[in-house]
Homo-oligomer: A and B are copies of this chain.
Amino acid sequence: MNSAPAIQKLLDELERLPGVGPKSAQRMAYWILNTDRATALRLAQSIIEVKDTVHFCSRCFNYAEGDVCEICASTKRDGGIICVVSEPRDIPPIERTGVFGGVYHVLGGALSPLEGIGPDDLHVAELMARLGSEGVREVVLATNPNVEGETTASYLARLIKPLGVKVTRLASGLPVGGDLEFADEVTLGRALEARREL
Contact = CB atoms under 8 A, between A and B. Distances in A.
A117 interface: no
Contact of A17 (B12, B28, B51, B95): B28
A50 B10 contact: yes
A62 to B, nearest CB: 6
Copies in the complex: 2
Contact of A63 (B4, B50, B64): B4
Assign chain A's interface to a size class: 35 or more
A17 B28 CA distance: 6
Interface of A: 1-7, 9-10, 12-14, 16-20, 24, 26-33, 37, 39-51, 53-54, 62-65, 69-71, 87-89, 91-92, 95
